[in-house]
Amino acid sequence: MLSEEEIQNLLNPVQDPFLHRTLEETGGVRSISIKEEKKHVSVKVGIGKTNTPEQMELQQEIVSILKKNGAATVGLRFEQLPDDVIEKYQSDAEAEDEKDLLGVSKQPNFISVSSGKGGVGKSTVTVNLAMSLTRLGQKVGIIDADIYGFSIPDMMGIENRPQVRGETIIPVERYGVKVMSMGFFVEDNSPVIWRGPMLGKMLNNFFQEVEWGDLDYLLLDLPPGTGDIAMDVHDLIPSAKELIVSTPHPSAAFVAARAGQMAIKTEHEILGVIENMAYFESKKTGEREYVFGSGGGKKLAEVLQTKVIGQLPLQQPYENEDDEFAPSIYQEDHPLGKEYHKIASMIMAKMEEEE
Ligand SMILES: Nc1ncnc2c1ncn2[C@@H]1O[C@H](COP(=O)(O)OP(=O)(O)OP(=O)(O)O)[C@@H](O)[C@H]1O
């Protein structure tokens, strides 16, 4: 019959499915007792997360190991490891999960762009931030996850569709930015009725079946509000940083705060608030008019304990002289292009600081 030490040695190499560490490292084998005459072994195992399908698999694995080595019956109990042990290994484990997510060795910086309500310029910010980061030499991808309106392809003037190579989808590249949008697969922009599980599935497919290659940044344009898909992002990419877009109107900021509260709840870092349509500047006099009110961004930043990292006026991009038409991209020398450049540089500096 097995001794306590032998059981310990048999279970030491078994992996904790959440922490991606062996039970030896996590101290996961909490207690062992043996009933010699009945060849009964009972073990208490501590893991990162209990009552999950992974726990069921682990249970089968452990029972089979012990039975193969001489136990007639096995009693197994699971408990959650102490918080400090979980914390110690969790961030490593999350990084590993995310690496698996895109199937590449280098993990990009994930930035999700959200807003409390529609029409505040969230997609415009996503596109222009991506452009500025690209101009700064970064490799950038965008996932257009705003299922209420896939606007990114139109905004960037994309007319072609992604190519499918075997099992993988090649994102469309425009001005050096790789773009993936469900809009590519929807005929004539016809409305699709989305149900919760479909959203998460779409997002998962965009991570796993799209050949992103090595990216420095992957920006996600999320649907406004705090819906299912935002939750999915929080679950799938715990390290994603959040950028909140709002107009300066105090009530708009109030709504945006709810989106931000979600980030706080899930412990996502908020990079800052971007106040869009902050003012209108007269070309003739240079006078600023705060057509959508003022102070909303500041108030929002206070509630979320972050900063306003950009205030973008109301202004259209220059008329495009060439044939390529990208209606929402501000040129590099455009006043807003320069503002986006500043925001992008600031974000890059912050990311580098954290590395
Ligand atoms: N600073 C700005 N100056 C002028 N027009 C702007 C500005 N920002 C955004 N817009 C315009 O406002 C409209 C809404 O912007 P956008 O689609 O980016 O918002 P959104 O928050 O992503 O909306 P939705 O959630 O509905 O997709 C667009 O037509 C866009 O071109």
3-state per-residue secondary structure call for 292-314? CCCCHHHHHHHHCCCCEEEEECC
Helix (H, G, I), strand (E, B) or coil at 138: coil
Residue 117 assigned to a binding site: yes
Tens digits of per-residue pLDDT, 176-222? 999 999 888 776 655 556 565 666 777 788 888 899 999 999 999 98
Most confident of 86-100, 242-256, 317-331: 242-256
The most distant pair of C-alpha atoms in the chain lies apart, rounded to whole Å, by 96
pLDDT at 60: 92
| CA–CA gap between residue 19 and residue 76 (Å, rounded) | 20
pLDDT of 147 > 80? The answer is: no
Whether the ipTM is more than 0.95: the answer is yes
Ligand 1 centroid to Cα of residue 118, in Å, is 9
The topology under which CATH files domain 4-90 is: GMP Synthetase; Chain A, domain 3 (3.30.300)
Tokens at residue 157, please? 């003037």
Tens digits of per-residue pLDDT, 260-317? 777 777 777 889 999 999 999 888 898 999 988 888 899 889 988 899 999 999 999 8
Question: Which position has the token pair 């809009």?
Answer: 183
Residue 314 CA: which ligand 1 atom is closest? Answer: 3
pLDDT at 117: 82
Rounded to two decimals, what is the model's pTM?
0.74
Residue 172 assigned to a binding site: no
Residue 7's pLDDT band (cuts 50, 70, 90): very high
Residue 328 CA: which ligand 1 atom is closest? Answer: 31
The preferred substitution site among 112, 122, 123, 124 for testing ligand 1, maximizing ligand atoms within 8 Å of CB, is 124
Residue 265 assigned to a binding site: no
pLDDT at 265: 72
CATH architecture of 103-354: 3-Layer(aba) Sandwich (3.40)
Domain range annotation of the chain: 4-90, 103-354
